[in-house]
C-alpha cells in the first residue's frame, strides 16, 4: 500500500474544508478504495452524549446507532484510544454489523479544539488485516485533516 500517495490525495482533496461531514466523506472514499483489506470503511459521528450514529461510509450496510458502551467503536469513543482488533470474535461485546467481518481498526477523531467528532472504522473480511503501519499513518493524517473541522 502506498501511504504517501494516499495521504497526498486526501490532503489535497480536503485542503481548506472545515465541514466535518464533507471531510469524512472524502476520507472514507479515498481510504476505502486505497486500502487493500478494508471491506467496509466509515465514520460513526458523536451526535449526543455517549452516542454514535452512522456517518459517511462505503461498503455494505453498517449499524445505525452505537452507544459508547458497546462494541469496538463504542470502546474507542469511550476511551479515546485506537483499537486494532485482529479477531473480532475475541473482542468482548463486539457488535456484528456484518457477519463477514473478521478484523477491525477503529480510530477516534478529534478536531483542533479537542472535541471528539466520532470514530473512523475500517472493517475487513480478512483476519488481522490492519497493521501498526496503518495506525502510524492514520493517526496524524486524521489529526491534520480534522484540525479545523466544525
Biggest CA-to-CA distance, the chain: 41
State how far the Cα of 42 lies from the Cα of 27, in Å rounded to an integer.
9
Residue 98 scores a pLDDT above 80: no
**SS3 of 56-118:** EEECCCCCCEEECCCHHHHHHHHHCCCEEECCHHHCCCCCCCCCCCCEEEEEEEECCCCCEEE
Reference 95, options 108, 76, 115; nearest CA is 76
- In this prediction the pTM is 0.95
What are the boundaries of each domain within the chain?
Answer: 3-145
**In this predicted model, what pLDDT tens digit does every residue of 4-19 receive, in sequence order?**
999 999 999 999 999 9
**In this predicted model, what pLDDT tens digit does every residue of 71-86 receive, in sequence order?**
999 999 999 999 999 9
**What is the CATH architecture assignment of 3-145?**
2-Layer Sandwich (3.30)
Amino acid at each position: 500500500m502506498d501511504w504517501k500517495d494516499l495521504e497526498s490525495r486526501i490532503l489535497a482533496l480536503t485542503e481548506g474544508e472545515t465541514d466535518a461531514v464533507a471531510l469524512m466523506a472524502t476520507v472514507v472514499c479515498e481510504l476505502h478504495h486505497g486500502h487493500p483489506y478494508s471491506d467496509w470503511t466509515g465514520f460513526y459521528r458523536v451526535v449526543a452524549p455517549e452516542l454514535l450514529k452512522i456517518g459517511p461510509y462505503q461498503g455494505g450496510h453498517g449499524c445505525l446507532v452505537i452507544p459508547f458502551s458497546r462494541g469496538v467503536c463504542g470502546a474507542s469513543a469511550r476511551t479515546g484510544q485506537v483499537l486494532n482488533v485482529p479477531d473480532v470474535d475475541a473482542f468482548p461485546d463486539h457488535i456484528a454489523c456484518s457477519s463477514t467481518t473478521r478484523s477491525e481498526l477503529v480510530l477516534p477523531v478529534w478536531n483542533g479544539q479537542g472535541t471528539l467528532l466520532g470514530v473512523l472504522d475500517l472493517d475487513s473480511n480478512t483476519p488481522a488485516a490492519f497493521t501498526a503501519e496503518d495506525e502510524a499513518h492514520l493517526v496524524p493524517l486524521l489529526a491534520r485533516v480534522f484540525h479545523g473541522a466544525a
